[in-house]
Structure 1
């Protein structure tokens, strides 16, 4: 009897590991799917013998409404429901919140960014194909502002476009979503994908190895490890009246994700990233490089898909 029971358990275990599943998004037209993000990033710049550290936390809730389904592609209208940012620079802390006191000029900017629709195009395999119409986010960004000179206004616009522009949104979302394999897989199956990362003055490619760790009643549990490598030389970006870019990019990325079995949508995602490189700084694009210094970026992003 004991041997029979042991054999039965073994057969059940082998059967569960042999089960093949097709991982993909199964979203419904006119349905809305939510993501709540909490992204923390520490930047350490070692300039002329001194560590200059900038700590940033961005939180927000996004609503994704599926407006069209075309073969293997979803078109989604997306809005930020709320946004907040906390920054610490040189020991000074600043906080901005779309739900907070909008007498704070930056909180007013956050408020003005919410409720504006832009478009995300995503494949059923979880690939972010395109992010479009993000210029709508910045329409009337300065509505209700006190008088502000045009140079300062342009500077603020550039900074917020770097944090909430199409490339940054695409990169952050792609790190949260798994690009699923093309074929059905079983528990402990492994697959590899390569993506490009472009944000601010960084251009890199990321090679990620994913593993289907477990299948529960409600979720697929997936882990990933990635290597970040240099891509093409990035263009210089205007930041606080200087032009900068990050070269010799290298780093690692680890991911833990739970995917809803019915929809393929994220239930929970955690991404930890470590990147290092060398910053080149110029006063103008025509002038030679003023200074080169090392930069280290440590980032952690937690995403949940609950309403």
Structure 2
């Protein structure tokens, strides 16, 4: 009888947990600073005239988010980059740049160092959507001080940096991580979907189906399966004097642990597999244009 009662209690508790609904949303404290660290490793393979060309990249970034105010289920935050690092490896060799190692001979590292602790503002909803970004040009205000560059060189460098660190690029890259919360309470096993646009050197629409996998007194575990579809109507962008457009589609998986009290991400892993083409626009030098097959495989790890 005692064993039967114990079993009944266990079953009742299990059913209660499964039926219980949880509110998954940001619940941030005004005046507090929240930290996010990202480490993205990717392999880009292009097939150029039948010859595969592989490029390995590793991009790291540390950010702080200070909540300045909260109103209408939105947070007004001051955002700062505290570290930016890049590594690239190809058949031509390996190069690395870091905001922590500026010097006169390393223009890229020096420029990255000048983007550090240059605040801009971000308004984010409780569901993790980036509503607005302001003051992003503050990142680029002193990039070229001390360097004798032509206006054309400055414009080219700035355009390339803005593909990764402009307002649209930052909105998409952050939303890929933060726009994960459902609009209503959910129970274990419940699924919901979110959509966001990623504009970072390419234009891609991301639709992700999430599922609440686990819940305890400290955190929630969420699993996501997403599809990425390129925007064929996106404009060409200028890179190294050429007009190019990256059209890739693919799939991603994400596993995310979020703090039960604040909703802030404790850690997350996102794996992406994309394939498609780099389209080179027709020009005088290339009247027929060119389409270069490519694949992108990446793994991003986010921690707090």
Alignment TM-score, normalising by the size of structure 2:
0.93
Alignment partners' CA distance in 2, 1:120 and 1:31: 15
Mapped to 2, the partners of 1:19 and 1:138 lie a distance apart of 48
Corresponding position of 1:245: 245
Q: 1:232 to 1:48 in 2, by over 3 A?
A: closer
CA shift, 1:287, in A, is: 7.5
Aligned-residue offset at 1:148: 3.1
Cα offset, 1:283, TM superposition: 6.3
Tell me the residue number matched to 2:25. Answer: 24
For 2:161 and 2:56, the matched residues in 1 are separated by: 16
1:139-197 per-residue CA deviation (whole Å, 9 max, x = no partner) reads 1112243x334433332222222222222212221111243112111111111122222
Mapped to 1, the partners of 2:43 and 2:235 lie a distance apart of 23
- Give the direction of change, closer, same or farther, for the CA distance of 1:230–1:100 in structure 2 (3 Å limit): closer
Alpha-carbon distance between aligned partners in 1 of 2:176 and 2:102, rounded to the nearest angstrom:
32
1:265 is matched with which residue? 264
Alignment of 1:186-197 (within 5 A): 186-197=187-198
Can you list the C-alpha shifts for 1:182-236, whole angstroms capped at 9, x where unaligned? 2111111111122222221x22222211000000221111000011123351110
| 1:213-252 matched pairs, under 5 angstroms | 213-247=213-247, 249-252=248-251
Moved more, 219-228 or 290-299: 290-299
Map 1:1-307 → 2, pairs under 5 A: 1-103=2-104, 104-145=106-147, 147-200=148-201, 202-247=202-247, 249-282=248-281, 284=283, 288-305=287-304
Unaligned runs of 5+ in 2: none
Alpha-carbon distance in 2 for matches of 1:84, 1:158: 19
**Alignment length, in residue pairs?**
302
Q: Mind listing any 5+ residue stretches in structure 1 that lack a counterpart?
A: none
* C-alpha RMSD of the superposition: 1.9
Measure how far apart 1:134 and its partner are.
1.5
| Segment drifting more, 24-33 vs 280-289 | 280-289
The separation in 2 between residues aligned to 1:245 and 1:67, in whole angstroms, is: 38
Distance across 2 between alignment mates of 1:220 and 1:285:
56
CA distance in 2, matches of 1:66, 1:95: 33
Which deviates further from its counterpart, 280-289 or 19-28?
280-289
Alpha carbons 1:281, 1:289 under 8 Å: kept: no
Deviations 1:55-102 (A, max 9, x none): 211112101111221211111110111111111133411111111252
